[in-house]
Structure 1
């Protein structure tokens, strides 16, 4: 399927691994120019080296929590290719975990800085680009946690719920200029982030990684009816669609890629 994004310019944050990496690959396959960014400079460099067959790939390290770092990234984009048409705001982190009474202000601030303030700053920095050409897309990566909060991840739950509200409100501001804003909410995708969580569970419960995943599905995510972790390819396909001309009447929506994990409408 031709997604109609050939020669569009996309910026993908959190692109060094997982969903961001696969989304970058899919957009490149569709003919877009992709700027990959991530705060982990070494991992970003290694990822870019793995993808050298794509001539339209650029990369530059940046931390979305830092206005200064985002400004440097923007200068690089301006000098290299001009303006962007697509922003895939994927960068985020689970942050502090534990029951509410165990969490400090610092735990909350770190998680919200990474998962809410960072995306706000990224949009603020690149909004002039996205409004410039009469065609633009912003895709935020939220989470099942936004609508189905878990009591041991309250800072993350709250930040991701904020992303849904931010995205919906933003979608009303610039749609008539051709800038469409949507959200994708994955659940338990096989990424380095969930690998780390499962490795920790494996060690704590003295079981294999596969057993840790299986027990987590049974005990913590019983509504994932497919009884497996999702794959990054399955999330990237939805993101790519929302970036495309095929999604020209989709605005302010939240697409859940969760295998049924969210148990309500």
Structure 2
């Protein structure tokens, strides 16, 4: 399928691995100019190198999404290097504080919300003037199954992702008339460094191998994931890329679940 976005410019956060990196790979293949951003410049440079030599079409600038001034500095570098962007994919995030509500302190809540909710808010705020200029644009925010089906041992993350869904819906109602379409993708238990760390922690806790920890997690914690496996980043990135495309020209304010059926409700 021709996504109709050759020549467009995209910024992808959380792009040094996982879903962000796979999204960059797909968009580059569609002729898009791509800017990668994440916390660490060295890991970004390695991620860019693994995508191949794409002179003039691939850039990498680090930023800390918890700091307004860091995002502003990165934005200025992007504008100097490539000009205005057409597409913003926000894929950065952390698991954050885990445990039951009474076990999580104020710092745990603050850290999680700073990255997983305020990070998207700050990125959109920094690049919205750029995105509004061309009469055509796409914003894709990464939510989660947890945003609509909260779990009792990760309430800060669930709350942040519910906030991302509300942010998306509000933005979609404001800017669609300008040609800027805003949507979310909600994955569940994808094979990324974040879930690798979760499963390593679980394996130590229950005294099992990581593979056994994954099986027990699916059986005990995610019983509605009918495919009984972790999703792969490229399976999510394919949906993200579609929402970035001209093919999604009538999709706005939507939440696309990529979750193997993890959400029990319709």
Post-superposition CA distance 1:200-224 (Å, at most 9, x none) = 1111212111111111100000000
State the alpha-carbon separation in 2 of the partners of residues 250 and 32 from structure 1: 20
For 2:66, the equivalent position in structure 1 comes to 65
Cα offset for 1:42?
2.0
State the alpha-carbon separation in 2 of the partners of residues 179 and 32 from structure 1: 17
For 2:18, the equivalent position in structure 1 comes to 18
State TM-score, norm by structure 1. Answer: 0.99
State the alpha-carbon separation in 2 of the partners of residues 103 and 26 from structure 1: 38
Say if 2:220 is the partner of 1:219.
yes
Alignment gaps of 5+ in structure 2? none
SS for the counterpart of 1:159 is helix
Say if 2:142 is the partner of 1:130.
no
SS for the counterpart of 2:83 is coil
Report if aligned partners of 2:41, 2:60 keep a CA contact under 8 Å in 1: no
Q: How does 1:97-176 map to 2 (within 5 A)?
A: 97-176=98-177
Post-superposition CA distance 1:81-115 (Å, at most 9, x none) = 10000000111111000000011111101100101
For 2:237, the equivalent position in structure 1 comes to 236
State the alpha-carbon separation in 2 of the partners of residues 204 and 106 from structure 1: 24
Say if 2:6 is the partner of 1:6.
yes
State the alpha-carbon separation in 1 of the partners of residues 88 and 75 from structure 2: 12
State the alpha-carbon separation in 1 of the partners of residues 155 and 41 from structure 2: 29
User: Is the deviation greater in 151-160 or in 50-59?
Assistant: 50-59
SS for the counterpart of 2:151 is coil
State the alpha-carbon separation in 1 of the partners of residues 238 and 144 from structure 2: 16
SS for the counterpart of 1:114 is helix
For 1:263, the equivalent position in structure 2 comes to 264
For 2:194, the equivalent position in structure 1 comes to 193
Q: How does 1:83-102 map to 2 (within 5 A)?
A: 83-102=84-103
State the alpha-carbon separation in 1 of the partners of residues 209 and 110 from structure 2: 34
For 1:34, the equivalent position in structure 2 comes to 34
State TM-score, norm by structure 2. Answer: 0.98
SS for the counterpart of 1:148 is coil
State the alpha-carbon separation in 1 of the partners of residues 70 and 7 from structure 2: 26
Cα offset for 1:22?
0.5
Aligned pair count? Answer: 265
State the alpha-carbon separation in 2 of the partners of residues 152 and 42 from structure 1: 33
State the alpha-carbon separation in 1 of the partners of residues 103 and 250 from structure 2: 44
RMSD (Å), alpha carbons = 0.8
Post-superposition CA distance 1:16-56 (Å, at most 9, x none) = 11111111111101100000000122211211121223331
Alignment gaps of 5+ in structure 1? none
